[in-house]
Chain A
């Protein structure tokens, strides 16, 4: 008999409302270790909001979210969930990498500092070691030699690749991508996707909110289609994208092609 494997992400009936607007109406899903999952869906479907709940950048209204078996954002005591303090949350987030649509590189730091600062400050890695690691990551994202550049001196695609390296420098067990190519000029999308492809091949667990269907089809193990705050359909990437079962998925995919 084999032990049941703890999933990397487990969402149980996650709900979120902004005032009267229900953005997430009970999301239940799980992502296994090493799996690459793409979240698809029209804008406003709640996929980014869900992603932001996974590292508690967004506070859910009810439900539970576990990463590697650990409850995110709350302490369970008796029958209530108590929200963690800012510094407790910081500790949890150190294991969860995130890449943003608008890169959000630190404007007051150069590329090398952007990548090496968090490991130095938040993991206690020695500066020398952190910088060596940062250089190795820069090589991986094809940006050797740009250590001293400031974010504003880089193109969008370069900034996003630095942002990926920055997240990886914390050695996360899970990577969240929030529409990583949506703010990019079309000719720069490829360079970011190829870094993500490399990452997927290396076995990183990835949850990707994206509109890049061909990327999802080729790289994702599974896609989850969301609409109006619920999961409409999920399954192996190719089968959901090529032969969607649900009518809403079909309409969405038709419009995307």
Chain B
């Protein structure tokens, strides 16, 4: 007898839904492409426009600075939450409660308008006009960083708590000072729990920066808004912005994948960046 073919069971329900989806998506694409109201030529015209490229640079700058500041602030907040002094613990708790509990958009507008109740900053030797210090850029960066720090604090606290308490005890018993125990033993182990969500937050931050356009902070979205305010090519320029946002998040996701794969490989070793930093610290220390 010849071999019998095996035919897997069909799932007619899924087939039906797939057909509806294909039809719907096809229709949408058709509507967009065939629309006489979209000037397609505007997209290649503006995709590398100088203003747009400047906006991208600023969006990346906002993302990088906000992440760096929030990682440092978040680490401090996380350590405060885990400290023994009740004032530190409650300060960190209140901070996180407040900055996670109010909308980022509100925080951006708030920082931008801070001169309404603090019109000038007196440094003792010089009095500064608040408006000249807290520019749209500074207000936007403050809002993004301080808000993100609250989320970062919780991510880091989770990472620090995931490290077995016996690790810290062993370090103490071997005569590590509290700072050394944190830097050498606990934090490097917490990093592998902390890094994947930091990647997610960074990708999310690339898009979140678009909120700062409400204070005209000159990020990518602000720039395309400025352009379409003059030429009314709203959809075209939003498509331009979306292409760039997609490109940035895709690249960032790729980087995240590479980093996590590296981390996964040496499961118990501290990440290379951390070890390099420790080596530098060590050589500085032995010099002194």
Residues of A that sit less than 8 Å from B by CB = 55, 57, 86-87, 89-91, 93-94, 96-98, 100, 102-108, 117-118, 121-123, 150-152, 163, 166-167, 170
Contact = CB atoms under 8 A, between A and B. Distances in A.
A30 to B, nearest CB: 22
Interface residues on B, range: 20 to 34
A106 B167 contact: yes
18 contacts: A57-B169, A90-B178, A91-B175, A93-B174, A98-B170, A104-B166, A105-B170, A106-B171, A108-B189, A108-B269, A117-B184, A118-B176, A122-B174, A122-B176, A122-B180, A151-B268, A170-B174, A170-B175
Contacts of B189: 107-108
Question: Chain B interface secondary structure, helix, strand, loop or mixed?
Answer: helix
Contacts of A104: 164, 166-167, 169-170
Contact of A107 (B167, B172, B174): B167
Interface of B: 164, 166-167, 169-178, 180, 184-185, 188-189, 267-270
Contacts of B267: 152
Nearest to A91: B175
A166 B267 CA distance: 22
Q: Give the 8 A-B CB pairs with smallest separation, nearest first.
A: A94-B175, A104-B170, A104-B166, A86-B178, A98-B173, A118-B174, A122-B175, A87-B177
A166 B172 CA distance: 13
A115 B85 CA distance: 33
A199 to B, nearest CB: 17
A54 B267 CA distance: 35
B175 A108 contact: no
B176 A90 contact: yes
Contacts of A122: 174-176, 180
Contacts of B268: 107-108, 150-152
B185 A108 contact: yes
Contacts of A152: 267-268
Contacts of B171: 106
A151 to B, nearest CB: 7
A96 B175 CA distance: 9
